[in-house]
Structure 1
Amino acid sequence: MLPKKRGVFVEAQTRIGHFPIMMFAIVMGMGGLSLMYLKAGEILGFPAFLGQGLLVVSTAIFLFIGALYSLKALRYFDAVRHEFAHPVRINFFSAISISMLMLAIGYKELSPAISALFWYSGTLLHLFLTLHTIAFWINHNQQLDHSSPAWFIPIVGNVLVPLGGVGFVPTGALFYFLSIGLFFWVVLFSIVLNRIIFHNQLATKFMPTLFILIAPPAVGFLSYLKLTHSLDTFALMLYNLGLFFTLLIAFMYKNFVKIKFFISWWAFIFPLAAMAISTMVLYSLTKEQGVLYLAYILIATTTIIVGIVIYQTLLHVKRGEICVQE
């Protein structure tokens, strides 16, 4: 029995060494789902326990994945350092800070103290990762094939900061983060669109990151409203751009239905959830029935996709196809 137990132990240690930073995309997905149902409870009258329960589950997943990646950092520091210097994987480190910011938003009404803990630590970490990533791009020549919508995560992710920061810091500081996110959204979108149209297509593994195109205008719309309390022309432009990218992704559904499962599938969820939340907020301001119907469609679509992604994730965990050498 001893050799067998030792073999299992060695295999577990090996899998920890291959534990990818991209696993934090799971927290982003579940966090987005939590916020969607919390907002549905607030605006549409959904049972409050749905959003609150999902928020607790998201927090547990964040702590679990964080513990495993911390263990990897302790035992396989060189592997983590390699990921942090990798032109593609470096972008997913910001999934940690974005996960913290999403949890901060979720706990804002339930527990201001927990929200403040997540928001301050998440904001400081995200600011560091934004500066580090841009410095990394400047100091190292980047290949166009390395660009993808995942580039939006560390930089454009700044648009998420104001949603949880109201009441913690002055509004001017929150506009600072919103300005960074919206500016680099335009810059990076131009680069990514140029790559997709005129150069090599995205690798199959990163096709799900196309959904991230929805997130910047959808979250930007929410943050802009949070700071200005004004449904003006610019706010509507942001919402409509988010809706356009949602329709574009739906139009391209054939690109996604047959691709092999990767952890990057979790990139499907947060942008759709953000668009559903934006639509619910728009409905709360306009009371237009068409907007309400669209909100229900987006909630249902996001929930179905979450179910599919969770099933595929558990199936591949059972098969031992997660945390393997790429």
Structure 2
Amino acid sequence: MIHPAIIKKQRLILVALLALIVLTIMASMGMGYSKLSYDRLIPTLFGHGTFKEEFVLFSVRLPRIIITLLAGMALALSGAILQGITRNDLADPGIVGINSGAGVAIAVFFLFLPIQAGSFIYLLPLAAFIGALLTVSLIYVLAYNRHIGLQPVRLVLTGVGFSMALSGVMIVLISSAEREKVDFISKWLAGNIWGTDWPFVWAILPWLIILIPFTLYKANRLNLLALHEPVAIGVGVSIDKERLVLLFTSVALAASAVSVTGGIAFIGLMAPHIAKALVGPRNQLFIPIAILIGGWFLLLADTIGRQAGEGIPAGIMVALIGGPYFMYLLLKK
């Protein structure tokens, strides 16, 4: 049974995070290359703005804001699932190679497959999912020992190795590509939010609508998987089956996010840790908080990055904070 005081604390934190997200959205709507006066935001939102104001807000700012928010949520949830099923606090879709696998699949899809522009956006998350799934399947097989089970440290190290190897594959793929396509892949690698139109929102949104409730439904299973394997087996958990289902869920969330935002790491590492520090390790409690932290953090990073000169990609802004945090966790754990 969860203590009522913890539940109350969780609700207060959720309200505070929602307020932070709303404030950051309002700030982000007024910032950018084409300025939009803050006293004109509310009238423009309700259809009383000029043509320019409505175009900037509804065609440029809002799609990017929503995509960034949704992608941050997906990456945070993916990281929380990975940390739960591997019992490893250093697991993150960007660190263990999932993002790199998705990136190679996107590069192949973009460079070599003759896809019509209309279907490209909606097939992109699927292509990223296939690439990420193949990568994580290989990592899982190499990190698994039939006598001991999944070895968390080996999984992280194998994932880092795969991530570096796939980065080399990416360089080979783009070395002979056309200049325009190379520019696109380079922006993707840097974590530049490139999907900035409404169709990209509809491409990523269904994945979250299905997978967030599914993960919350599986939260108690994640709690049990965090225990030692004999204990989990003793209470009737089919460990291998649950791990695979949740691993596929994590891969799908990460792939759907990076397919429209580029290679962004560390969100899935930091958000679950911060959430656990606030309300404890129960998945029912910290996962909703981690989702909101991930969305807010990526939105904040993109908003700040857009104000710096010609713009710093959100992936670089996140890495500036996430890199030192990863080193801190590595030394601590």
TM bucket (normalised to shorter chain) is under 0.3
Q: Which has the higher contact order (CA 8 A, sep 6+)?
A: 2
TM-score, normalised to structure 2, is: 0.24
TM-score, normalised to structure 1, is: 0.25
* Higher helix fraction (1 or 2): 1
